[in-house]
Amino acid sequence: MIDDNIFNELNEQQQNAVNCSLGNKLILAGAGSGKTRVLTCRVAKLIDSFNVKPSNILALTFTNKASAEMKQRLEKILRISSQGLWFGTFHGICRRLLKIHWREAGISEFFSILDSQDQLRIIKRIIKGKNLDENLYDPKVLQSFINTQKDKGKRYNTIQGNDDDKYKDIFKDYDDVCRQTNSVDFADLILLSYEMLKNNPKILEYYKDRFKNIMVDEFQDTNTLQFNLLKLINGATGSLYAVGDDDQSIYGWRGARSKNIQHFKDEFNNVEIFKLEQNYRSTEKILNVANALISKNIERLGKNLWTESNKGEPVYLYEAYNNDDESRFIGDKIGELTKQNYKRSQIAILYRSNFLSRRLEEELNARAIPYKIYGGFRFFERAEIKDIIAYLKISVNSSDNTAFERTINNPPRGIGEKTLSSIRQYGKENSLSLWETIQDMHKKTTMGSRVLKSIEDYINIVLNIADLTKNLNLKDLIQKTTELSTLKSYYAGKKGEESLSKLENLEELMSTAERFEQNNLDSDSILSDFLDNASLEAGEYQSKLHEDPIQLMTIHSAKGLEFPIVFLTGLEEGIFPNENRNNSKGFLEEERRLCYVAITRAMEKLYITFANGRFLHGSFSHLMPSRFINEIPDDLLENVKSNFQPVYRYKKTKYNEEEDYSQEEHIENYSQEENTRYNKYSFKIGQKVRHMKFGDGVIVSYTGKEENLKLHINFESYGRKWLVLSYAHLDFL
């Protein structure tokens, strides 16, 4: 018998969601509203009051951690083992199905599951076997392509509208290898289960009859295939209990469909909707800011978070002169907060993109404040940064075998492991460094013509970089290294969030180099000092958990977490919302949801910061405050006093989703002198311009001086473009 006090502790909205009748239910659970408690209590209610057998319940989550937490809570409530229940992730449950019905699925009884690296190795072998260029047919891009198609429920023979048939051919070959080796990948676990159930009506009827009650957590994160699998098993008579929050749908870039939760009522029969709006995490003032922002989204089901806790402190807004000032402000505040007996681990610094962590890391290191990058790597530990550092190292120290190994086939240039093994063996036998080895082997032409050409290209790249080290400053040297190594073009030619992030990090490395050079004007060897500093930061300065570190993370990594104190940084147009992600109609609403998620991570104190300018692309760019700041009413934000005169003043205007953001409409009384004092040209941020090809646009920011001045212009028909002013032939309107 269950203790009724468990249910009595629920608030009214939670009780309604737990005690509702059987049937299809959608629970809109706001951030911090106790959704895990509701899910657990609902399962207990089904067993205790509706006489549902545990074996008739299927509970699906997105992480093993969430599944384990629900199991533990349920066992505590029921005081019995939850062994009879099917609890698990989508992939875990589908694996279980396939282990039972492997024959019907057309696979081996003893199939193996491929992880991401296994999958990538197979694709690489296929590309090599077809004699394809990895620069044109990137293994990671193909991996993403295959997984995306499977997530949509498609095989290679059902794909429509793809321009390159070789993608389909590689997909087919990949599937063939999987079958030959009795292997399945993660996407296949769900797709095979779906196909097996769809093609076997008797088995499907069995599971429809067995799992009359299906529970799903984080429903807003389901993709197309997961949604269709749920529809299939639930059928016309099932009871699907879906818990999610359309306002926290932030994974569209990896296949999640926010529309699944929005269309729930249309896709399932007799749906009843419940809202969980009471928040147990944040103060009233933080929730007011979150509600005001997310209300600007048009495509949402709608809810309004509230709390019975105290109103709390105001949400603070800090306008920084530049990113140095922003980082200094955050460092000062952390010092104040730790003196107030807050632990450093209670403080989180959130940012939209990984590259923004760099200046923050510098500030924390300078103050000897330990920190941890949650869900990612420190700046100098990131692969693309280590790649460029390695190219610089081999160019100044040809004996650096570690740098050689990292750069010789990076990006891929057709130098495989067999060739590398022969290089290592030759060098060992002749007591040569690997760099000396390839030059010696090249002279003796002991390699095939194709490999020989790749080796020649690599040698020329390194020699060219070495030559540039004598004449260029640090920033320009790094810029040229990203180009000569072809790493920049390699990432630019790839699609996806990961590649965009790598390009941003490469650009930030240029800005980091410029700041380092300015701060070390008395250095006898600036490049050597910079390389040593990079090694130190990637090594001995790493904080340990017992040091109580500050938490640094992207907003995506912060999903599901909470902190007493949150700094939300880098809220400038082009950075957040991120202009590089503007590739779909729903991009802006997802960016706003991302900002909403960031705000609702804060429990007690929230600091929002933006800078009037940042070092971007290796030079200083003037920026505008994010439209998300503009969308928050003035009376909900308290401006923190600064040591400089603010550049921007706001007036609130009605936001229109269909129109692009007009900076001119949102800014007034800004300093013309601030925008033009370094340049002979007369213009202002927010000014309208006209170009003979691109049409009308608005100046968003600028970088450079005099003849090298570049304007960042948001054109109505062509989007954002950088134009050199002296060549652009602009009409200023």
- Does residue 36 sit in helix, strand or coil? helix
* 248 carries an active-site annotation: yes
Instruction: Tell me the CA distances in angstroms from 212 to 37, 229, 605, one per residue in order.
Output: 21, 14, 44
Question: Quick one: pLDDT at residue 451?
Answer: 83
Instruction: Tell me the CA distances in angstroms from 613 to 38, 194, 708, one per residue in order.
Output: 45, 51, 18
Burial class (CB in 10 A: 0-12, 13-18, 19+), 640: middle
Active-site residue, selected from the candidate residues 25, 35, 257, 488: 35
- As a whole number of Å, the end-to-end CA separation of the chain is 76
DSSP string, 173-189: HHHHHHHHTTEE-HHHH
In our burial notation (b when 16+ CB lie closer than 10 A, e otherwise), range 621-630 reads bbbbbbbbbb
* 548 carries an active-site annotation: no
Cis peptide before 54 (omega within 30 of 0): no
Instruction: Tell me the CA distances in angstroms from 637 to 241, 247, 289, 317, one per residue in order.
Output: 38, 22, 8, 6
* 262 carries an active-site annotation: no
Question: Quick one: pLDDT at residue 578?
Answer: 86
- Cut 0.95: pTM above it: no
- Pure H helices in 200-254: 201-210, 224-234
Phi, psi of 602, deg, nearest 5: -80, 135
558 Cβ partners below 8 Å, 6+ apart? Answer: 348, 350, 374, 597, 598, 601
Instruction: Strand 57-61: give its sheet, edge to edge.
Output: 86-89, 57-61, 213-216, 239-244, 25-29, 272-276
Active-site residue, selected from the candidate residues 218, 221, 247, 363: 218
Question: Quick one: pLDDT at residue 704?
Answer: 67
Phi, psi of 234, deg, nearest 5: -70, -40
Alpha-carbon distance of 443 to 441, in angstroms, equals 5
Alpha-carbon distance of 397 to 465, in angstroms, equals 12
Alpha-carbon distance of 44 to 50, in angstroms, equals 9
252 Cβ partners below 8 Å, 6+ apart? Answer: 258, 584, 586, 590
Active-site residue, selected from the candidate residues 151, 173, 217, 400: 217
Question: Quick one: pLDDT at residue 658?
Answer: 38
- Nearest CA to 254 among 166, 187, 300? 187
Alpha-carbon distance of 681 to 706, in angstroms, equals 8
Alpha-carbon distance of 124 to 137, in angstroms, equals 9
* 328 carries an active-site annotation: no
Alpha-carbon distance of 396 to 399, in angstroms, equals 9
Q: Amino acid identity, residue 241?
A: Y
Q: At what angle do helices 526-537 and 383-396 cross, to 10 degrees?
A: 140
Phi, psi of 346, deg, nearest 5: -85, 0
Active-site residue, selected from the candidate residues 393, 413, 601, 605: 601
220 close to 255: Cβ distance less than 8 angstroms: no
- Pure H helices in 219-258: 224-234
* 217 carries an active-site annotation: yes
415 close to 133: Cβ distance less than 8 angstroms: no
Beta strand residue intervals within 105-245, DSSP E = 112-113, 183-184, 213-216, 239-244
Alpha-carbon distance of 243 to 247, in angstroms, equals 13
Active-site residue, selected from the candidate residues 143, 149, 248, 551: 248
- Nearest CA to 569 among 307, 333, 244? 333
Alpha-carbon distance of 518 to 516, in angstroms, equals 5
The conformation of residue 706, written as its DSSP 8-state character, comes to: G
310 Cβ partners below 8 Å, 6+ apart? Answer: 283, 284
Backbone torsion region of residue 445, taken as left when φ is above 0, otherwise alpha when ψ lies between -120 and 50, otherwise beta = left
Active-site residue, selected from the candidate residues 15, 36, 148, 676: 36
Alpha-carbon distance of 621 to 133, in angstroms, equals 37
- Secondary structure element (H or E) that encloses residue 510, with its range: helix 497-519
Alpha-carbon distance of 612 to 319, in angstroms, equals 7
Residue corresponding to tokens 């990292």: 406
Cis peptide before 201 (omega within 30 of 0): no
Token couple for 693: 């090809």
The conformation of residue 20, written as its DSSP 8-state character, comes to: P
- Contacts of the segment 133-136: beta carbons below 8 A, 24+ positions apart: 133/414, 134/411, 134/412, 134/414, 135/411, 135/412, 135/413, 135/490, 135/493
Question: Quick one: pLDDT at residue 331?
Answer: 96
* 36 carries an active-site annotation: yes
Beta strand residue intervals within 629-685, DSSP E = 637-639, 649-650, 667-668
Split the chain (733 residues) into runs of 10 and give each run's mean pLDDT.
Answer: 76 95 96 91 90 91 80 76 79 92 92 87 91 83 91 87 77 93 92 96 96 94 94 94 92 77 91 96 97 94 90 95 92 96 96 92 91 85 92 90 91 85 88 88 72 89 93 91 93 80 90 84 84 71 66 93 97 88 76 96 97 80 91 94 55 40 34 41 78 82 69 78 77 85
430 Cβ partners below 8 Å, 6+ apart? Answer: 437, 440
Q: Amino acid identity, residue 656?
A: N
Question: Quick one: pLDDT at residue 197?
Answer: 97
Question: Quick one: pLDDT at residue 540?
Answer: 46
323 close to 611: Cβ distance less than 8 angstroms: yes
Question: Quick one: pLDDT at residue 672?
Answer: 39
Alpha-carbon distance of 223 to 259, in angstroms, equals 10
Alpha-carbon distance of 690 to 638, in angstroms, equals 38
